[in-house]
A and B are shown apart, each in its own frame.
Chain A
């Protein structure tokens, strides 16, 4: 039982790091993007990460008795689908509602399609829309975020139902409702704690892996690891029967 607890702590700490990496990869524009002044989706950083990660959490709850790797991959794919459909809808409004083609601003050549973006930027703005580079970056970012959320859900749910086997499939047919509630609240908590650290360091606007702000990721991931480890101790204290 002690080895399971230590492994669960490490899993929760790793999930914190994954959530932080997910926030860095998402193309977030913040408030200026809603006015067509910045590239990316027009929401706050931690709210976008939470929104996409929670879609993955729903899928993790539906597949509660599958093996751990199945839950993680499916949660990641759910989050990716959410982000994909959202980014294409945002593009539809920019292109058909306002008439602006998507364009990056931090680099001139799009990292994925190798096209020149500079002629399409409105002068006075820092890019607009979600170009293909940001799109691909968003798919990876939300996948990693979804996996991170599932990685907190899995140990919390299993410990709260009294099962100490972390990786295999479960024999349950009826879910334990209080365990699902506790695991969802714990996952929400770990999400906000880590996404906030990442959001503070990028000041709310980031374009993808080519953005200069991406270089801070090493520093921020270390802080997220320690913070998730610390709060993971608290969360595990709640679920394990003492």
Chain B
């Protein structure tokens, strides 16, 4: 294969993996700045057990659904601007993601105001400054995720339909591809990063080294280092560990998948695809097993 084409493909490959790492990272941080998905059940439960808070209760369904929504809306506006009005892709991406952020903020406001108002029987007050100070932060984190996902789907679509399409790239139209990538980003961020928020940051008063028993449910930490805790304190903490691990996870998935596809297409043998895939799964299972044994030996049984 030609030298230049190979270099171009390797460059696209590296770019795609970098974009998807950023998408995964900020997807988790976006769910921490607005308290979405699974740990949000504790924020919902807190007023019922008498713990009142100043946390933004953004309950737009689960993360896969909401990130699919932002991605598909941005994808539609992007297709309109790029294929319809022939704007350059960078301008189209910026305008599409900007408009999507307005919809995002509208959904976030209805969710928080709706949930807090429905807890009026317990006496949880509705603080308007919580709504107004968190909305720009939610918008900015969501903007980064949406931009990364749309750029990724555009790059993959163009590569898939070009002359290099037999080597790399997926020939799926941009809105459908953005929907799929958004749902995958949401399910990854929801399974990995949410645990750092839920186990560790929400229940920091429970000692390190144990899970959270059911009797502590609803008793979340509401006071911060100075004053009452807001989502800004939460995202400051989770950006140190939970966010990067989620980004790393999504990056590794796309890396392994595209590596398999690239190798198989390069050598024109389907067996390479399957063998590389099985080898990766076996190595990771072995690493997990060693990790589990090491943890059990280091931490010991519960005392």
Contacts and interface: CB of A to CB of B under 8 A. Distances in A.
Given A43-B38, A59-B257, A121-B302, A184 B215 contact: no
Contacts of B291: 88, 91-92, 95
A78 B274 CA distance: 9
A55 B257 CA distance: 9
Given A58-B170, A97-B242, A82 B184 contact: yes
B270 interface: yes
Given A94-B199, A97-B200, A101-B299, A50 B64 contact: yes
Interface stretch (A13-21, A27-35, A208-216, A225-233): A27-35
B199 A135 contact: no
A98 B242 CA distance: 11
B62 interface: yes
A102 B295 contact: yes
B34 interface: no
B292 A132 contact: yes
B253 A124 contact: no
Interface in A131-149: 131-132, 135-136, 139
Given A35-B202, A180-B173, A77 B184 contact: no
Interface string B273-298: 11001101100110111011001100
B245 to A, nearest CB: 5
Contacts of A42: 38, 190-191, 194-195, 198
Nearest to B297: A101
B91 interface: no
Q: Tell me what chain A mostly uses at the interface: helix, strand, loop, or mixed.
A: helix
Contact of B180 (A54, A70, A96): A54
Contacts of B41: 31
A86 B253 contact: yes
A35 B285 CA distance: 24
A37 B215 CA distance: 11
A86 B281 CA distance: 12
B210 A34 contact: no
Nearest to A95: B295
Interface stretch (A2-10, A60-68, A160-168): A60-68
B227 interface: no
Interface residues of A, number: 74
A151 B76 CA distance: 28
Contact of B194 (A34, A85, A91): A34
B236 interface: no
Given A55-B184, A80-B277, A61 B172 contact: yes
Given A62-B160, A89-B192, A95-B295, A35 B198 contact: yes
A198 interface: no
B10 interface: no
Contact of A77 (B183, B187, B274): B274
Nearest to B202: A35
Contacts of B210: 36, 99-100, 122
B62 A44 contact: yes
Given A43-B191, A55-B253, A132-B288, A70 B277 contact: no
B84 interface: no
A85 B256 contact: yes
B296 A120 contact: yes
Contact of A73 (B200, B261, B274, B292): B274
A51 B288 contact: no
Given A61-B170, A135-B285, A93 B180 contact: no
B186 A84 contact: no
Given A37-B211, A43-B187, A119 B62 contact: no
B195 to A, nearest CB: 5
List 6 tightest A-B contacts by C-beta distance, closest first: A124-B213, A51-B187, A36-B211, A119-B301, A34-B38, A34-B198
Interface of A: 30-31, 33-37, 41-44, 47-48, 50-52, 54-55, 57-59, 61-62, 64, 66, 70, 73-74, 77-78, 80-82, 84-102, 113, 119-125, 128, 130-132, 135-136, 139, 174-175, 177, 180-181, 184-185
18 contacts: A33-B38, A34-B37, A35-B39, A35-B202, A43-B187, A47-B62, A47-B64, A48-B191, A50-B187, A52-B187, A54-B180, A84-B284, A87-B288, A88-B284, A92-B245, A97-B242, A100-B299, A120-B301
Interface of B: 37-39, 41-42, 62, 64-65, 160-161, 169-173, 176, 180, 183-184, 186-188, 190-200, 202-203, 208-215, 217, 241-242, 245-246, 248-249, 252-253, 256-257, 260-261, 270, 273-274, 277-278, 280-281, 284-285, 287-289, 291-292, 295-296, 299, 301-302
Given A51-B186, A93-B241, A95-B291, 14 more contacts: A36-B199, A37-B212, A43-B38, A47-B64, A48-B191, A58-B180, A58-B257, A66-B270, A81-B280, A85-B252, A99-B210, A99-B299, A100-B210, A120-B302
